[in-house]
Amino acid sequence: MNQEEIAAMREEYGSRELHSADMATDPIVQFEQWFNDARNAQLHEPNAFTLSTVGLDGYPESRTVLMKFFDASGFVFYTNYGSAKAKEIAATPKAAILFPWLPLERQVRITGSVEKVSSLESLKYFASRPRESQIGAWVSDQSSVIDSRALLLNKMAELKAKFKGGDIPLPSFWGGYRIIPQRIEFWQGGKGRVHDRFRYTKDNKDTKDETPSNNWLLERLAP
């Protein structure tokens, strides 16, 4: 495929418009509405998002992970605490995430700080995972260099035998992180690339006369 063919790849957006009157006062309520729309549209893995962190070498790093819970306190995912992203978060506990719901001509961008969830939260989620996924958490020394896939499969077989007939304990090196949002942007594709963008920014001011409802400031952005 040549440069001209790639440059010509485009789809026209504009199946709907987004107005300030459409936006909830609370961005978490707005997110829940859009997330439910994505689920009802039967999008593939609507809880998948791109997680971007600051690499230890200063370069940005991105990968796709799965959101497992969200509420007013933030957005939760789980991983190995020895993974590259965990080390990056330990060094710089800030992240940006992106939900790309492209069939709905929508995306949600979230930026905020990151903290570990409690051990109790991690245990509760770990216990809900399929047994093979629980074993998988024990198998992988995530992000480390390995010689072959066969090593992973052999370790998987060993752990299946070890834990046969019993509960699988939560690994001490595995658990959750919560992204605490500071900014949340909702993007709706628009006709002629005149997209609709609304950004909520957490208002940390103490002055009541300048603090918007629910401590969030809502602004429309140019596309």
Q: Which of 5, 2, 16 is nearest to 188 (CA)?
A: 16
Q: Which of 37, 34, 191, 6 is nearest to 108 (CA)?
A: 34
Rounded to whole angstroms, how far apart are CA atoms 29 and 25?
Answer: 8
Question: Which of 39, 63, 193, 220 is labelled catalytic?
Answer: 193
Amino acid in position 30: Q
Decide if 222 contacts 54 (C-beta within 8 A).
no
What phi and psi values does residue 141 have, to the nearest 5 degrees? Answer: -90, 80
Rounded to whole angstroms, how far apart are CA atoms 24 and 22?
Answer: 7
Rounded to whole angstroms, how far apart are CA atoms 21 and 123?
Answer: 41
Q: Which of 181, 174, 212 is nearest to 28 (CA)?
A: 181
The CB density around residue 69, as the number of other CB atoms within 10 Å, is 17
Written as six digits, the tokens of 210 are 């300048």
Q: Which of 109, 107, 112 is nearest to 34 (CA)?
A: 107
Establish whether 193 is a catalytic residue: yes
- Catalytically active residues, by annotation: 193
